[in-house]
Amino acid sequence: MASERLAKIPEVDIDPDGVFKYVLIRVHSKEDDDSSVDIVRGYAWAEYHGQADIYDKVSGDLERAGGVDCECLGGGRIKHDSKAKKIHVYGYSMGFGRANHSVSTEKIKARYPDYEVTWADEGY
């Protein structure tokens, strides 16, 4: 049951264009099977409090739906240019620290297979 519930959660949900903050979240099953999934969420609406706003909304929505707990693994920024089909992941979160951008990038590549997806630890 838990793995089915986790499989229904989209692994990537980001805005279609712009530069915005993002978080990498681990969603844990509350059942005893230790299953989890890492998800990427990034939105331009979260500019002021940034990653905390994204994490609070996403984790709250998922936890209210039941059966899961969430953990923030870190954050950064995403530059998404849909016309050029390019996504660049970089930087860090002041509140959550730097996400493992290589993990985030692999998930984004799976969601956007025809894009050039790159990452760097530099920048804010």
Return binding residues. 21
* Residue ranges of the binding site for substrate: 21
Q: How far is CA 39 from CA 50, 83, 84, 118, in A?
A: 17, 24, 24, 17
Of residues 28, 49, 80, 101, which has the active-site annotation?
49
Q: How many CB atoms lie within 10 A of CB 98?
A: 15
Q: Are 122 and 92 in contact (CB under 8 A)?
A: no
Helix (H) or strand (E) holding 27: strand 18-29
Task: In whole angstroms, give the CA distance from residue 19 to residue 84.
Answer: 14
Determine whether 101 is an active site residue: no
Mind telling me the catalytic residues?
Answer: 49
